[in-house]
Amino acid sequence: MKKTRPTAVALIPARAGSKRVPDKNVRPLAGHPLIAYTIAGASQSGVFSSIMVSTDSEKYADIAAHYGAEVPFLRPVELAGDLSPDIEWVEYTLKRLKDQGCHYDCFSILRPTSPFRLPETIRRAWEMFLAGAGVDSLRAVEKCKQHPGKMWVVRGGTMHPLLPLSPAEQPWHSSQYQALPEVYVQNASLEIAWCRVVFEERTIAGNVVVPFFTQGHEGLDVNNPYDWQLAEEIVNSGQASLPAISHVSYPVTEHSRSL
């Protein structure tokens, strides 16, 4: 008997309260709102049974629906603040979906600010996640550009190494980069986990987390004006491709012109 593959839901967070770049999740990039590329990539990957957008904005919900995502309910305002942890909106969303009869084995968080995450990226991560025995979750990572072994905290006017793990005879802060251990930092590209880690442990990661190493611009996180200039240059120069979008562009309004 052929083994049934787990079901998965894509969760795309798109709150409206961004301060560094107002309305960044729906700001136009190459003719479409930013969120459209994540919806398209998720849809074309063939991984997900459903693609859900979690937003506190009716406007964002309308844009998401235009590009084929589902928005069965809005996120409560109290779960959409600057400091709201992911577990709160993820737990809320999965519970609401479960109450509506929508059951999934896994979920994936796909943030709109990673527009260069292609369908192939998602498929590669999904296969890696399924291949891991005893895995709770998978998280996208990349090599640190600034090594934490050379970072400090300042207390009482003096500096102390952030990482107290280096050998006393050759501290990391006084070593060449080539001699330092490889360290990775998570990026915003994607996360995949079993729904049980939310319902049983109230976490989005669990305890056994496997790395997904992003390639090229897959993990680029577009969050500030410099990032936007970089993303536009990447598109215009052909350094990387965005997921293809078959939908007509969302109608231009005074709202979108002002972004």
d(CA 208, CA 29): 36
d(CA 115, CA 37): 6
Instruction: Assess whether pLDDT exceeds 90 at residue 205.
Output: yes
DSSP string, 72-123: -SPPPGGGSSTT--HHHHHHHHHHHHHHTT---SEEEE--TT-TT--HHHHH
Tell me which CATH code domain 8-141+186-257 carries.
3.90.550.10
Q: What is the C-alpha end-to-end distance of the chain, expressed in Å?
A: 53
Under a CB-based contact definition with an 8 Å cutoff, are residues 210 and 132 in contact?
yes
Closest CA to 11 of 201, 198, 244: 198
Task: Choose the weakest-confidence range: 30-34, 43-47, 88-92, 181-185.
Answer: 181-185
Task: Choose the weakest-confidence range: 77-86, 196-205, 240-249.
Answer: 77-86
DSSP β-bridge partners for residue 161: 152
Closest CA to 186 of 243, 139, 124, 130: 139
Q: 238 Cβ partners below 8 Å, 6+ apart? A: none
Q: 226 Cβ partners below 8 Å, 6+ apart? A: none
Under a CB-based contact definition with an 8 Å cutoff, are residues 121 and 53 in contact?
no
Q: What is the DSSP letter of 7?
A: P
pTM of the model: 0.91
Instruction: Assess whether pLDDT exceeds 70 at residue 257.
Output: no
What pLDDT score was predicted for residue 85? Answer: 94
Residue 120 is encoded by which pair of tokens? 């192939």
pLDDT tens string 217-239: 999 999 899 999 999 999 999 99
Instruction: Assess whether pLDDT exceeds 50 at residue 258.
Output: no
What pLDDT score was predicted for residue 18? Answer: 72
Specify the pairing of strand 28-29 against strand 137-143.
unpaired
pLDDT tens string 131-188: 989 999 999 999 998 999 999 999 999 999 988 878 888 888 888 888 888 999 999 9
d(CA 44, CA 144): 30
Q: Where in the chain is the domain with CATH 3.90.550.10?
A: 8-141+186-257
